[in-house]
């Protein structure tokens, strides 16, 4: 009996030791996860935004928004996102965005071959026609459904640049991605937010970065 008691005590000590090791590993894993998330957040907030410190953004009163490039699978994505951006920009009252029809006429008069990526010289020429202080170009990288296994959400990834028209120099650029597959989506399903909602959220994020 004494022999069994000794072995039982040893077994209890081993179990307690294993429990302690597991608790330490859980704490360590949580710490590593916390610092990893913090690192990713820091990278996201510093690497996706450029703002020329020498540019007087208050001097910009009128802007021409060029047609956006479309890298997504949705053929109408660039036009939709551009319209949302222009309307939201106008709603701020901070600047005036030239109507798309007038921009198209200016592009034709300036003979710009690739409106989604105009050269500095073409931008300066366009500014003389439209009387604008800045031109905005953009690219829609993702737009629509994002799938991972059986999980699906709507997503958008958008990048914008502002170019000062006297020199054709980029004075501001930023990007925004909205609509990601989360642990909640994987566990409980659902398609996330509607496309119009996440598009507006991405545009609002970029405008905040522009005027922030």
What DSSP element (H or E) covers 15? helix 2-47
- All residues at 6 or more sequence positions from 158 whose CB lies less than 8 Å from its CB, including other chains: 81, 138, 139, 140, 141, 175, 176, 177, 202, 203, 206
Confidence of residue 10 (pLDDT cuts 50, 70, 90): low
Task: Select the more confidently predicted residue: 86 or 7.
Answer: 86
Same domain, 74 and 22: no
Three-state SS at 51: strand
* Residue range 141-164: mean pLDDT, rounded: 88
pLDDT tens by residue, 24-72: 555 454 444 444 444 444 444 445 899 999 999 999 999 999 999 999 9
More confident residue, 135 or 4: 135
Domain that holds residue 120: 51-211
- Specify the pLDDT at position 8: 53
Kindly state whether residues 113 and 126 are assigned to the same domain.
yes
Check pLDDT > 60 for residue 157.
yes
Q: What is the mean pLDDT of residues 2-29?
A: 54
Specify the number of domains making up the chain: 2
- Phi first, then psi: what are they for 87, rounded to 5°? -65, -40
For 86-108, the pLDDT digits (tens) are 999 999 999 999 999 999 999 99
Report whether 94 contacts 203 (CB < 8 A).
Answer: no
Does residue 42 sit in the same domain as residue 64? no
Burial of 10-27, coded b for 16+ CB within 10 Å and e otherwise, reads eeeeeeeeeeeeeeeeee
Residues 26, 95: one domain? no
Could you tell me the CATH number of the domain that includes residue 131? 3.40.50.10610
Domain identity same for 202 and 111 = yes
Number of other CB atoms surrounding residue 171 within 10 Å:
19
| DSSP H/E element including 156 | strand 151-164
Q: Do 18 and 95 have their domain in common?
A: no
Residue, of 20 and 212, whose pLDDT is higher: 212
Model pTM score:
0.74
Q: Are residues 120 and 173 in the same domain?
A: yes
pLDDT at 153: 87
* pLDDT higher than 50, residue 147: yes
- pLDDT for 155 equals 94
pLDDT tens-digit map of 160-208: 999 999 989 999 999 999 986 655 555 555 556 899 999 999 999 999 9
- φ, ψ of residue 17 in degrees (nearest 5): -65, -40
Q: Identify the band that residue 117 occupies on the pLDDT scale cut at 50, 70 and 90.
A: very high
Query: Within 10 A of 142 (CB to CB), how many other CB atoms are there?
Result: 19
Give the integer Cα–Cα distance in Å for 186 and 180: 11
The answer on 60 and 139 residing in a single domain is: yes
> Domain check: are 35 and 108 in the same one?
no
Tell me how crowded residue 78 is: count the other CB atoms within 10 A of its CB.
21
Give residue 22's Cα distance to chain centre: 38
Distance CA(141)–CA(157), nearest Å, equals: 5
Beta-carbon neighbour count of residue 163 at 10 Å? Answer: 22
174 shares its domain with 202: yes
- What was the pLDDT predicted at 13? 65
- In this structure, the answer to whether residues 55 and 42 fall within a common structural domain is no
Judge if 60 and 41 occupy the same domain.
no
């Amino acid at each position: 009996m004494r022999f069994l008691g000794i072995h039982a005590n040893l077994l209890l000590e081993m179990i307690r030791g294993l429990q302690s090791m597991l608790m330490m590993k859980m704490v360590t894993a949580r710490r590593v996860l916390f610092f990893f998330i913090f690192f990713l957040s820091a990278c996201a907030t510093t690497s996706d935004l450029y703002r020329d410190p020498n540019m007087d953004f208050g001097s910009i009163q009128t802007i021409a928004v060029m047609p956006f490039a479309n890298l997504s699978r949705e053929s109408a994505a660039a036009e939709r996102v551009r319209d949302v951006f222009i309307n939201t920009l106008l709603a701020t009252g901070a600047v005036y965005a030239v109507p798309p029809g007038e921009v198209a006429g200016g592009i034709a008069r300036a003979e710009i071959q690739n409106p989604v990526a105009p050269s500095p010289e073409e931008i300066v020429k366009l500014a003389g026609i439209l009387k604008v202080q800045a031109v905005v170009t953009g690219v829609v990288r993702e737009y629509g459904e994002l799938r991972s296994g059986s999980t699906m959400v709507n997503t958008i990834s958008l990048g914008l640049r502002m170019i000062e028209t006297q020199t054709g120099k980029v004075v501001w650029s930023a990007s925004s991605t909205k609509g990601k597959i989360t642990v909640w989506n994987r566990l409980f399903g659902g398609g996330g937010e509607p496309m119009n909602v996440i598009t507006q959220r991405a545009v609002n994020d970029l405008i905040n970065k522009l005027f922030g």
